[in-house]
Amino acid sequence: MSSVSKKVRMTGIIMALIFGLLAPVIIFYNACAPAGALPVSFNSDLIGVKVYRLPDPPEATFRAWKRLGINTAFIGLELATQDNFIRSAREAGFKTFIIFPVFYNPEKLKASPELYAVTGEGRPAKDDWVEFVCPGNRLYRREIIEKARKLVADYQPDGLSLDFIRHFVFWEKVYPDSEPDPLKTTCFCPDCLRTFQQETGIKIPPEITGYPAVPNWILNNHRQAWLEWRSRQITSMVEEISEAVRQVNHFLLLNIHLIPWREKDFNGARISVVAQDPAALFRYVDYLSPMCYAQMLKRPPDWISSVVADLQKSAPNPVIPSIQVKEAYLPEKLSAQEFDRSLKAALKPPSRGVVFWNWEALAESKEKQEIARKRIKEFSRQREKERLESRKRLTVPRAGLRSSPYGPRGTFPPVSYWLEAAGDMSRRFPGSRPALIWIVSTMERDQTRKEAQVYTSRTRLTFPAPSAGPNQYENIVFAEEDKNEVYLQAFDRAGYKVWLQVEPAMADLPTLIDLVMERYSHHPCVIGFGVDVEWHRWSERDNEGVAVSDDQARLWVEKLRRWNPDYLLFLKHWEPRKLPPTYRDGLAFVDDSQIFKSLDEIVLEFARWSRWFYPSRVGFQFGYPSDRPWWQKLTDPPADIGRAILEVAPNTSDLFWVDFTMREIWPDNK
């Protein structure tokens, strides 16, 4: 059973009973999680080393790594499958990433040469030892995805480090004065040319045939479309591998090896040659690791920090540069002094660590080991100082509580309770405004099926019908009296901010927006409208809600802005693919995931949510009963969880503690 932070579909008055019955299930569920889950915090700095063979016994190697401050091993496939190395490393306190080559596969190409990528000159993608499979070959893609999935299932590493997931180029010999030849790029094989035409609608004239005529025609007439299409080949492969391996272990960490070219190097060759687009790749992985082998590439050590800074402009992920320890390709020795300068540059902000290439070289040099130990110690001290300073500055625009008619145990709290508790939540984050998600419609329970938690197609609004009468509105039921007005009046006076949220069922969303805003838009506390997508067009078949399209989101935002152009719309779910794929204007995205085993797991999950929608606004609900076993051990659960989220999610706009457990944090008598 995999540990997946999936929201439990539970609402209604019987919430407390259901959680009581489920407690043993949750304990069992967590106990069955993969053994490789996060031995070192995702949010900690990563000091890694690539290792393909061990020059010493594992125990001696682990002692050496601890002395140097290394916490992560990036291991080759051969070592990963030998002698329980991964388990031994985990028991010694190290994370392990298996280095996983994707399109570099000489053994496969030897057996199946038809798989070679083809350059614009019509030649196989081969240069010295570098041999590449066509990134568009569907059979090979499926095979390599299954291989990755099986590797994770069989050996349970903490992470997978994707290597050679790009288009063909021998980048190790591309020097500053080089000019990569577009005709030496890939892939112009017949299958890729055919697929390119099918997917873009671009047709190669029948009189244009052969190599290099066809590639030249594409590059001269449709260069941008070609570059975007071939970049999607790489991005989609990262996405498909990510989805496959995280079905095995939801919390598996993913790193990607990147060519160390800055955005404008070689006229944008990062995309035009290797097709690695950080702005598209970052949402599918946890770390970005440019291979900054300065001496090998005839670059000065300071160039390393410029690569890290340039990459950080395109992506919010932690950037972990990899640096060389020993000379390669060039005859000049890599001195201890140059290694020291490279390491200092690699650890310069905004770097979040370093990866040494490789341990075999570092193990043979005591002098370089001592340099590494010293610089890593300095880096760790500086990072801790920076963390302490940044925590003082961490803030969020809004912080408060989620409120529903069914969430609070016992009687629904009075106005004074919400004012005091939401205000106290906000005070934990200096600079924030007290805020609430105020749920004004809930799913109607099917009372004829008491044996199961099933809902009708209707939503119940918590206020009376307008003068037109209740029968005018399909799939909408109204209350006999208003249950919100007195609270909203108090929030107005206190200067609090309120999102009005619905659980829409099969009701028409624009109609719900009009009904809710006609009733409450006069309140200055109201800042917008929210939709819990779990309940969007809910049915027993679509029991996690129907995904929201770009067109739907645009329509809802336009409808809401007719009431107030400053209003925002939030969409809530735990699965980002349930929310609009590209439309972002006027939206915020709220994650209500639960069932985690630790603070580390919730931080990793919310960091991924933040990156998926970056730089758009995101919000988070937390404090669920299913997570109580670990959050109740924290000194100050709302503050500790919230600050941990803010450290990894810079686009956070809202933090909310849920009403199911709020009285455990803010008792009525206090």
- pLDDT over 50 (residue 3): no
Tens-place pLDDT, residues 88-109: 999 999 999 999 999 999 999 9
* Helices 223-248/213-221 angle, 10° precision: 90
- pLDDT over 80 (residue 16): no
Tens-place pLDDT, residues 143-195: 999 999 999 999 999 999 999 999 999 999 999 999 999 999 999 999 999 99
pLDDT at 4 (0 to 100): 46
Determine the distance from the C-alpha atom of residue 487 to the mean position of all C-alpha atoms in its chain, rounded to a whole number.
36
Q: How confident is the model at residue 664 (pLDDT cuts 50, 70, 90)?
A: very high
pLDDT at 19 (0 to 100): 36
pLDDT at 224 (0 to 100): 97
What Rg value do the Cα atoms of the chain yield, rounded?
27
Domains along the chain with CATH numbers: 394-665 (3.20.20)
Structural tokens at position 51: 């290792």
pLDDT at 451 (0 to 100): 67
pLDDT at 21 (0 to 100): 36
Contacts 24+ apart (CB under 8 A), 626-634: 626/8, 626/19, 626/22, 626/26, 626/594, 626/595, 627/594, 627/595, 627/596, 627/602, 628/661, 628/664, 629/27, 630/596, 630/597, 630/598, 630/599, 631/599, 632/664, 634/599
Tens-place pLDDT, residues 456-466: 899 999 999 99
Mean pLDDT, the chain, integer = 92
Residue % of the chain over a pLDDT of 90:
87
Tens-place pLDDT, residues 288-322: 999 999 999 999 999 999 999 999 999 999 999 99
Residue 633, classed as helix, strand or coil, is coil
- pLDDT over 60 (residue 30): no
Phi, psi of 196, rounded to the nearest 5 degrees: -55, -45
Q: Could you give the CA distance from residue 116 to residue 211 in angstroms, rounded to a whole number? A: 16
Edge to edge, the sheet with strand 353-357 lists 287-290, 253-258, 159-163, 95-101, 72-75, 46-51, 353-357, 322-324
Place of tokens 């009733």: 519
Place of tokens 């967590």: 30
Place of tokens 């439990």: 8
**Of how many residues is the chain composed?**
670
Q: Could you give the CA distance from residue 566 to residue 551 in angstroms, rounded to a whole number? A: 20
pLDDT at 541 (0 to 100): 87
- pLDDT over 70 (residue 33): no
Residue 199, classed as helix, strand or coil, is helix
Helix (H) or strand (E) holding 4: none
Record the pTM: 0.92
pLDDT at 453 (0 to 100): 74
> Do 183 and 212 touch, CB atoms closer than 8 A?
yes
Strands 130-131 and 126-127: antiparallel
> Do 100 and 160 touch, CB atoms closer than 8 A?
yes
> Do 145 and 240 touch, CB atoms closer than 8 A?
yes
